Every structure is written in C-alpha cells, then in structure tokens.
Amino acid sequence: MVPRYSRPEMSALWTPAARFAIWFEIEAHATEALADLGIVPKSAADALWRWWATSPAIDVAAIDAIEAVTKHDVIAFLTWVAGQVGDDARFMHQGMTSSDVLDTCLAVQLARAADILLADLDALLAVLERRAREHKRTPTIGRSHGIHAEPVTFGLKLAQAYAEFARNRARLVAARADIATCAISGAVGTFANIDPAVEAHVAAKMGLRVEPVSTQVIPRDRHAMFFATLGVIASSIERLATEVRHLQRTEVLEAEEYFAPGQKGSSAMPHKRNPVLTENLTGLARMVRGYVTPALENVALWHERDISHSSVERYIAPDATITLDFALARLTGVIDKLLVYPERMQRNMDKMGGLIHSQRVLLALTQAGVNREDAYRMVQRNAMKVWDSDGALSLLDLLKADADVAAALPADDIDAMFDLGHHLKHIDTIFARVFGSA
C-alpha cells in the first residue's frame, strides 16, 4: 500500500484495527449462535457484546506483542480479548478453526471493497455518459493501426468506453457475489465440532452466504475470479488512458488532460504539458494486473488446506483494491476535466486530402458495375498520389480527372461520396444501444 496512491475509505478497510473488529464480530456472532443452540451460556455472548459496546479502541500493539510470543495471529487476538472480557471469553471460538475467522473476514473485506469500487465505477460511468453526449456529434478521425481510417465522433469513443465499463461493473457485481461467502465449518470443513446453524447465523449477520462446501478454507477459485475481474477493470482503465495519451501527442492534440494554473510539465522545458495522469494510470493498471497471477496460483492448495495463499493475500487484497480505487477516481477526474479540441479534430481529418472517403468511392464504383478489383485499383492509384503528396493533392480532384472513374461515375456522384454526414448517420442508433432511447 503506497499512501500516494491511496484513498481514505478503501485504506481504512485494510487497517489492523478494522480487521480485528471484523474478527470480533465473527466470533461474537458465532458465540451468540452457540448460545441459541444451548451449547454455551447465553451470558457468554451477552458479555462479549456488552464489552464491545463499551470498549475503547482495539489495542493493535498489545495484540501484536502477544503474537510475537505465540507466533499465531488468531490465538493472539483471542488471548487479548479474553484479557479484556474475562472468564466468559473462554466460550469464544468453540469448534472453530482459525480459517473460519480469517476467510470469513477476508470475504467481508473484499465484499466491502467491491462496494467502494462499484461506487467508483458509477461515478466514472456518469462522467463518461455526460461527456459522450456532449460530443455525440463532434466528428473526429477514426484510426486503425494508428493510421487515419474513416470518421467517427469523439462522443462515440466515449460511448465505447462507457459500454466497456458498464460490462466491468456487471463483472464486479458477479465477482462480489462469488466472493461473499462465509465458512464456519471447523477443522477440515466437516462441522464435526460446530453446528452448521452457527455458520448460517454468522453469514446472515455479516451479509454473506454460506459456503456450500469448504475444506478448512473457502475455495480459492472464488478469490481468483475476484482478482481477475479487478485485472480486467485495470486493463480497461489503461485502454482509455492510452487513448488520451495518444490524442495528446503534439502531432495530434485533439484532446489533452486539464493543465491547472501553476502546474509545471517539465523541470527543464517550460513549454511542456505532459499526460502525466494517464501515464500514471497506465502504470497503476500494470500493478493491479500483476496481482492476478498470484491469485490464480493460490487455487491449488494442498489437500484440505495449507497457508501458501495467506502471505499472498495479505499483499494483494489491500494493494489491488486500494490501487484500483485510486485509479478509477483518477480516471474519472481526467475525463471530467478533459480538454477537447473539435477544430483540431477537423484539421486532422482534412489533413490527407480526402483519403478518408476512399471506401465510399470504391463501393460506388462496384454499384455502378465496375469489377471490385478494378474499382479498388482505380481508387488506390489516386489515393497513393495523395498519400505521397502528404495531402497536398485532393483525392476528389484526382478521381474526377481519372478517365476510368469518370466513365463509371458522374462528377456529382463522386462529390456525394465526400459527405462527412454519411459516416455519422447511425450515431443515434449506437447511442440508443449504449444509453437507452431516452
């Protein structure tokens, strides 16, 4: 966890104090259920909740000091609580194993982290929709392989991003549901020393579902899918960030990150306005994706459990969620304040002498009865002259002067093939598919 790339709400979820608080709730709810079953005295559960309602903050340092001796974090926690609550605390953890606490706690933390990330995605989607509608009919050149292709609109670029992040939101909802399971099944998961009703009670109280079949741990395919989903979201962040970076290049300059008063782009060159935020997002996306492989490797544990997954998850759970939370918020800010230059977009479209309309002429020639190969050859030989002139020549003028083209198409028909509006005629249809018909 790097403070520079952390936000308070998500970071607070992963503090030791927050973790111990969840541990206590799990243990107290389990004791409560055991009391309902008549296995432990009701006074034991009451004593735990009474202490919790009046207790000062959890003493993390004291628990750490006990762990330094016991070499076991859950035992250290139980020992410290017992010292605070007194004799009634001996009924805590009856029939449970450490993983019941650890895995259920992690499920709670990941579900809560997902809720924060879903709120982040909602904020991003709102900004993407607003800016997409703002530039719904702002024409710009579409590029394939980085080369001018045919016109699109800047709003369409943002609508594509909206649709992608909407899919990511649905994926995260599914991943949250998958990860939010509770296991209070005891050693090796057989419920030999604890009733399944305890698990059901704890699950209901903690906002989880019961794990249908656990070993001594919750199966790690759930976690693998969760972190894989975070990796996909990170890749979508990088895709949009890379688009902005390309558009901000000096030779393109169709859009750029907001440059605040007093901001400086370079320690050496005062003229620089660099895409530092989107470059940062590219790096953060790499980090989040980097946590996916360890999560996948955690799936293959030995028999009913080992702890090879434990150290991995202590790293990747806080780091991946905190980093992605920060990245989503940063991307939202970038799109919200993005500077867009329609005039530069138009100049760039006009730069190559009308080459962007070549396909329409090709299709018109085939419709006029010209063999496709011949039609392609006619258009290409004129297009290459424009290309070699760096746009100084006009494809429209060359086509009109080409005897073969003129024999197949009247001049007015050729003129009609250079209508920019033709490329934008279905923008409303696409927007309705993405945002609905409103």
**Residue 192: exposed, middle, or buried by beta-carbon count in 10 A (0-12, 13-18, 19+)?**
exposed
| DSSP codes of every residue in 207-238 | T-EE-SS-SSS--THHHHHHHHHHHHHHHHHH
Out of 144, 145, 267, 271, the active site residue is: 145
Dihedrals phi, psi of 209, to nearest 5 degrees: -105, 160
Three-class secondary structure of residue 148 per DSSP: strand
Q: Which token pair is 185?
A: 């099944």
Select which of 43, 55, 266, 311 is catalytic.
Answer: 266
Contacts of residue 379, Cβ cutoff 8 Å, sequence gap at least 6: 358, 361, 362, 365, 399, 405
Token digits of residue 167: 């899919």
CA distance 235 to 241: 10
Maximum Cα–Cα distance for the chain, whole Å? 102
Cross-strand bridge partners of residue 153: 139
Crossing angle for the helix pair 42-54 and 16-36, to the nearest 10 degrees: 150
DSSP string, 318-346: HHHHHHHHHHHHHHHHHHHH-EE-HHHHH
Name the DSSP class of 437.
Answer: -
Does 135 participate in catalysis according to the annotation? no
The answer to whether 43 is a known catalytic residue is no
Place of tokens 């790097």: 2
- Which amino acid appears at position 313 of this protein? E
Catalytic residue positions, numbered: 145, 266
